[in-house]
Every structure is written in structure tokens, then in C-alpha cells.
Structure 1
Amino acid sequence: MAEARRDAERTRAELLAVATEVFAEEGYSGARVDDIAARTRTTKRMIYYYFGGKEGLYRAVLEEAYRGIREAERAIDVDHADPVDAIRALAELTFDHHVGHEAFIRLVAIENIHRGEFIRQIEGLRTLSQPAKGLLDEILERGREAGVFRSDVDAIDVHLVISSYCVFQVANQYTFGHLFDVDLASPERRAHLRSALGDVVVGWLTAPSR
């Protein structure tokens, strides 16, 4: 029984991994269940068994993609970190995750093309995302109590700034890079951008309130 359960978990994980690549490459409309099955060690029937079909598989891929970034954020030790160090660490961790998970960025872009049609159908996704806001709320509150963070910026503001920066430098690396003759993906540039993000966020939060 235990071995069968492990096999089922491995099959499901493999399907999700391959489907993530296919949906990120082809979009929801262009992806085909037959192609996904052909790139795995299982069958099309198993996709319907585990996920109910293409739409269910796509929703599972989206949920898993968001779960990945949320789990990464849990590595931040807010309780034992200076708030300035904590917010910089969160910004840099988010940067690293986006660089290492380009499929996540493409999936988010695809879902926005569909105007959030499928993400709204995923039960519990908002609940999954609440710890991200809670983490920022805690860091900001500790910073304000210490007298180092301004009082007119909230968690959504900070999340939006960090996410925008991280998404842009990956999603637009080819167009931006061509227009301004810069390789955003080079190790040197990436290290510079990562450091700059921390400086931007810390500088903004430690500036006097308007």
C-alpha cells in the first residue's frame, strides 16, 4: 500500500513537472494533453485520472507554482533578524526564486492573458498567499517599532514593488536587453540587479514619510 502511494505521488509529481514546462512554453490554449503524456513515463489516461483533464491539470500547475514561492518565503527568519536585514533578505530571495523559475513568470503572464479565469477557480489559493502578506506585515511592523521604517507604506505596496522588479528583469530580458544592448542574464548583471533591489527597497522604506 505504501509503495503504491509513493508510485502515485511520483506519477503525479512527474505529470506536474512536465505540464509546467509545456504550459509555460505553449500557453493554456496551445498545450495538448497528448504532448504532455508523451513527454512522461505515463499515459494520457493518468492525466484524466489524477487531474480530470487539461483544465484541472493547468489549475494544479498554477497552484504548485504559487506554492513554490510561498514555501521559499518561509526560509526568512523574521523573529531573529533585524527588520532592515529581513526585508533585504526577502527581496533578494524573491529575486533568486524568479531567476530560477522562469516558468513561473510565464505561467503568471499566461494566466493574466486569460484575465485570471483559472486562478479564480483554485480553492485555497488566497489562503496559501496570506502568509506572504503576513510576513511583510510583521517585518514592517517591527521596522516601524524600531523607528527605522516609514509609516505610510504597507505590505501590498512592498510586495508589488518587489514582484514588479523581479518579474520585469526576467520577463523582459530579451526585449529590454536588445533595446539597451545589455545582457540582463549575465552573472555580473544579475548580481548587480539583485543587490540594487535590496538597496531600492531598504532606501524607500527608511526614507522619511511624506
Structure 2
Amino acid sequence: MKKASKVTAPVRSKFRSEPRKNRSVSVPVLDRHEVKRKYDPELTKRNIIEIATAEFAAMGLSGARVDAIAERTSTTKRMLYYYFGSKEGLYEAVIDEAYGKIRALEQALRLEAMEPREGLCRLVEFTFDFHDTQRDFVQLIAGENISGGTHAEHLKAFKARNSSVVKTISNLIGRGIAAKVFRDDVEPVDLHLMISSLCFYRVSNRHTFAMAFGRDPAGPRLRVRHRAMIVDTILRFMAR
């Protein structure tokens, strides 16, 4: 007679999973800024232009690398080409944005609400401060001029965008002439050239100027003096 086979109870593994009801599944959650950036093309383009501005200002069009720009943004090289078409297209967007920024800030000054001398003084101070603090702008514009302005020429609204500053200065001059505080033989575009030149040069040529004369225009004491000097020069030039 055979012995009954021994039935062994199943061994309960110590590695058995917890009951399903006790499991917690970790799901990655995007914060609202990440979600917005992912689905907001305008925000993405602004981010690309901001990073590209620094890259083009430092390296120029030929030296700038699209890979370097993509690595520092929240997007990919492929998306960069999707939005701007090419490296040159991105560069042109950067130039357009740079000029658009200064023109928009000029309009925000509301110079038409000021007396002519006060308004002109404020415009010169703003132009000085903008060039002094936005050095990427100076480097970009200097580089574009070295290349003959060929890319700015492709921008359809370039002239229209920049006409606002001439209109602003024309309004200041006209009101100043009527108030008998400004001379009447100065063209608005010439005054704009004069203001821009004085503010631009000290930034674009600061390094060679400092080496040649032992004075860095970016130094705090010289900055204050140059600002006052340029304002005074323009106001004296326009005085009747």
C-alpha cells in the first residue's frame, strides 16, 4: 500500500507585491510654466530669440552655432528651424526684435506730454542708458553694419518700424520751435544720428578707447560724466 503523498503548502514569497489597492504610482507632473512653454509657440520663440541675441552678439552670424543656441533654450534644433527656417532667418528675427525693443521703449516714454526741452533731455538720457546697459544691442548692430546691413535689408517692416523715432524727434523740434526754445534749421533724422552716435561710440569702442587713453568709458565715474556731457551737448546744440 502506497503512502499518501505529502501535500506541501505553497511558500509565501517575501518579495510578493503589495495588494493593488496599496500601490502608489508615480506620475510625472508638469508645472504650469512647463505646460505653458510646451504649448505656447510665442513664448518658445521669445526664449529662442533671447538666447540667440546673446550668441549672435558674442560670435557674429558666421561664428554663432545653432546647436549652442538650442542647447541653452527649452526647445530643440529641429524646432528652431521650424520657427525660423534657417540660421539666417533666426538672425534676422533677432535684428528685428532688437530694433523693435528700443523703438517700443522710446514710445513708452510719452515725450509728447513733456515740455520740449524736458522731452529732449529725457530722450537723450534714455538713449544713453539703453546703449550702456544693452551691450548685446550695440554688438549686434555693429556686426550687421560690418556686413553691409544685408540682413536688415530683408526685413519688410524695418523702415516703418524705425520711423517712429524720427516722428518723435520731429514733434519735439516742432514744439520747441513754436515755444522759441529750439533752433529751426535741424532735421529730425540728423538729430537722431547725433544722439545715437554719441551714445553708441562709447560702448562699441570702449575696449580700444580704454587701451589708447587709459580710461574705460564703462567705469561708473566716467559713465555719470559722459551722460551729463551728452545731454548738455544736445541741449546746447538745439538751443535757439
Same fold (TM over 0.5): yes
What is the percentage of aligned positions where both structures have the same residue? 40
Residues 125 and 227, structure 2, Cα contact 8 Å, conserved in 1: yes
Q: Does 1:71 align with 2:71?
A: no
Greater helix proportion: 1
Alpha-carbon distance in 2 for matches of 1:5, 1:41: 9
CA offset digits 1:157-206 (Å, max 9, x no partner): 11011100111110111111121111211122111111111100000000
In the alignment, what sits opposite 1:44? Answer: 77
Alignment of structure 1 residues 1-210 onto 2, 5 Å: 3=36, 7-207=40-240
Change (3 A) 1:48 1:147: same
Alpha-carbon distance in 2 for matches of 1:5, 1:43: 12
Amino acid at match of 1:86: G
Residues 112 and 172, structure 2, Cα contact 8 Å, conserved in 1: no
Amino acid at match of 2:143: I
Amino acid at match of 1:78: L
Misfit runs of 4+, over 3 Å: 2-6
Residues 112 and 171, structure 2, Cα contact 8 Å, conserved in 1: no
Unaligned runs of 5+ in 1: none
CA offset digits 1:41-90 (Å, max 9, x no partner): 21100111110010110000000000111011013323321101111110
CA offset digits 1:83-109 (Å, max 9, x no partner): 011111101100111111111111111
Aligned Cα root-mean-square deviation (Å): 1.5
Alpha-carbon distance in 2 for matches of 1:149, 1:109: 32
Alpha-carbon distance in 1 for matches of 2:59, 2:212: 25
Q: Which has the higher contact order (CA 8 A, sep 6+)?
A: 1
Change (3 A) 1:29 1:151: same
Amino acid at match of 1:147: K
Alpha-carbon distance in 2 for matches of 1:23, 1:107: 7
So what's the TM-score if we normalise by structure 1? Answer: 0.94
Q: Which has the larger radius of gyration?
A: 2
Change (3 A) 1:136 1:46: same
Length, aligned pairs only: 206
Amino acid at match of 2:153: R
Amino acid at match of 2:71: A
Amino acid at match of 2:229: A
Alpha-carbon distance in 2 for matches of 1:157, 1:6: 45
